[in-house]
Structure 1
Amino acid sequence: MLEPQIAAFIDEAVAVYPAHTTALSPPEQRALYDRYAATLTPALPDVLTVRDAGYTTRAGHALRLRLYRHRARGDQAAHGAVLYFHGGGFVLGSLDSHQLVTARIAADTGLDVIAVDYRLAPEHPAPAAHDDCLDVTLAALERQLPFNSSSGATLQLAGDSAGATLAASVALRLRDEGVEGVRGIALVYPMLGTDPQPPARDTEAHAPMLTLRDVHAFRDLYWGAQRPYPAWTIPLEASRYDNLPPTLAIGAEHDPLRDDARVFVERIQAAGGDARLWIGTGLVHGCWRALASSPGVRTMHRQVCDFLAAHAAPVFDTARREA
């Protein structure tokens, strides 16, 4: 059963962003999605400053980044930073579309949040988005991003939906290459395979906000309809799940992707790792945009913020209490 506030959110969302938009062309989808996101995006919290910057990957791809920083810090970096990879099925989304999420994480944790505007499909198919996010993460670990950072800062990865795929994939790739430094991963209604895990794949195939048909359409636009896919881009096809950073995976009850989060957590735990699952009862895919109205979404948001704050550098926690 849907939470009443989520049912109202769905009615509001569908009025702007109707179902089955994956039948439209990518440019048409993006126009609708951007209008939908703008309609539901509030003003920036007063406590934040925002700075945009360009970044060129080592492969020569120009990306945009956006830093959200607590105003009390001035130009002084926090002792913890979060790279945020937005959702949108690898086809939709931008720095603006997910500002509601990225700004509120920064405001509610005091952490620096850096949003990443990676390349989108189908113009840039797999593994373009993965390559971009991996490059930005490596640059962040090497203190090479165009924002000042504290030498003692910790780095975490976060994302929703397709962005959660990117965060999990990057963490697995860094583990495989022996690169350390990521302190935590927060995944919100993640898409972690090329087909959702049962039973939600079947029981929630026609869920509001995201259907199984939608998942497959986005999958085919990014990865293509034919295998083989680049193996490292699909977290649930990894050969091992040990030695990953502490992980929080969040699923929404009414979402065909719900059990991707559960299976990922179970595999990490089976490998002896630190992973925690939280399922949002009565929630749907994309519900973070209902933060202002939904008690369940506010609880979900607190889960993410508390996790990220807990895995930042201890010195940051002290500064946060004093702020």
Structure 2
Amino acid sequence: MAPYPLSEQMTAFIEKTVSFNSTDSSITGLRQAYSEMCRAFTPERPTGLQVVDFELDGVAVRSYQPPTSGASCIVYLHGGGWVVGDFDSHDFICVELASTLGVRVIAVDYRRAPEHPFPAAFDDCLKVWRALLARPFQLDPARMLVAGDSAGGNLAAALCLALRDTGEPLPCAQVLIYPGLGGDPRLPSRSECIDAPLLSSTDVDCYHALYLQGTRHPNAYAMPLLATDFSGLPPAWIAVAQFDPLRDDGVLYAGRLKAAGVAATLYIGEGLVHGCLRGRGQVAEVDALYETLFGYLAEKL
């Protein structure tokens, strides 16, 4: 791997993360190794936070309800290349968002590839959004925000595109953290970060192939950067990691939103790598990302 100018804290975080890598490259092996790694980075939940699992229109969801929460709600879509990850893998950030901001968080356990390729995950996220706006929940979309990291950022952007296209109520904002949006493989970050820690360009290609299998001509709901019209979408906060082959996906998406008249804030995470959200409290650069993220969410909610 080429040298990347990483801080000592980030290097230590990466070393701990990769220590859970397995020689079993099967889908089952990848999921088990990923889950073990995630557990090692998941802190205890604070007392008073009510966590309940249930289903909405056949899709598994998990609700995080802090002791004092108003009508605001964050719908969170987890990362993991559409292949790995679940409720538990991203429990850490859902707990953090709910407890720090005092808002309800709904996490979506969408179906994963390769067993369920596109559009399964996208369809599940759309079902949950619509169910939250219907009875008995009837949440106010003006107080709802959709957020996601990596593949979850892809699904969040795709959800916004679909809702706009059908004229349905939109979230008050979309928050995408190092999202994979289907950018051209020739984007500079693909070659500059070809063997970046925790996510290589080859990894990106593999995840795309598993998610899009059987899809001969992907559309914007699969890869949002394929959209031809970015107008009328919710305001966006987009964070990218400096050493991430997907960096330019987020940069390009922010630029296209702005060109279409949509408010978009781009956070360039200097010294960050893909998947670094678990470095909260361990890596100063990650803590800075969280503080900026919380500031934006507090304004919107």
Distance 1:152 1:172 in 2: 15
Distance 1:54 1:139 in 2: 10
Is the counterpart of residue 154 in structure 1 residue 143 in structure 2? yes
Q: Which moved more, 1:45-54 or 1:85-94?
A: 45-54
Give the C-alpha shift of residue 304 in structure 1: 2.0
Within the candidate set 9, 12, 17, 2:13 is matched to 9
Aligned residues with identical type, % of pairs = 39
Amino acid in the other structure paired with 1:71: P
* Structure 1 residues 150 and 139, CA gap change in structure 2 (3 angstroms): closer
Deviations 1:182-241 (A, max 9, x none): 100000000001655621111001000000000111111110276212442211000111
Give the C-alpha shift of residue 152 in structure 1: 8.4
Deviations 1:103-133 (A, max 9, x none): 1011111111100000000000111000110
Within the candidate set 153, 156, 170, 1:167 is matched to 156
Distance 1:180 1:209 in 2: 36
Aligned residue pairs: how many?
297
Distance 2:135 2:79 in 1: 25
Amino acid in the other structure paired with 1:81: C
Distance 2:27 2:226 in 1: 27
Q: Which moved more, 1:189-198 or 1:163-172?
A: 189-198
Amino acid in the other structure paired with 2:52: R
Give the equivalent residue in structure 1 for 2:39: 38
Give the C-alpha shift of residue 143 in structure 1: 4.6
**Root mean square deviation of aligned Cα:** 1.8
Give the equivalent residue in structure 1 for 2:62: 66
Distance 2:117 2:141 in 1: 36
Is the counterpart of residue 182 in structure 1 residue 178 in structure 2? no
Give the C-alpha shift of residue 141 in structure 1: 2.4
TM-score, length basis structure 2: 0.93
Within the candidate set 236, 259, 262, 1:273 is matched to 262
Large movers: runs of 4+ above 6 Å: none
**Structure 1 unaligned runs (5+)?**
57-61, 313-323
Q: Give the 5 Å matches for 1:235-314.
A: 235-312=224-301
TM-score, length basis structure 1: 0.87
* Structure 1 residues 116 and 152, CA gap change in structure 2 (3 angstroms): closer
Give the equivalent residue in structure 2 for 1:125: 117
Within the candidate set 209, 214, 221, 2:210 is matched to 221
Within the candidate set 78, 92, 107, 1:86 is matched to 78
Deviations 1:84-109 (A, max 9, x none): 00000000011001001111011111
Distance 1:189 1:216 in 2: 16
Amino acid in the other structure paired with 2:90: H
Secondary structure, counterpart of 1:92 in structure 2: coil
Within the candidate set 88, 99, 123, 1:96 is matched to 88
Give the equivalent residue in structure 2 for 1:212: 201
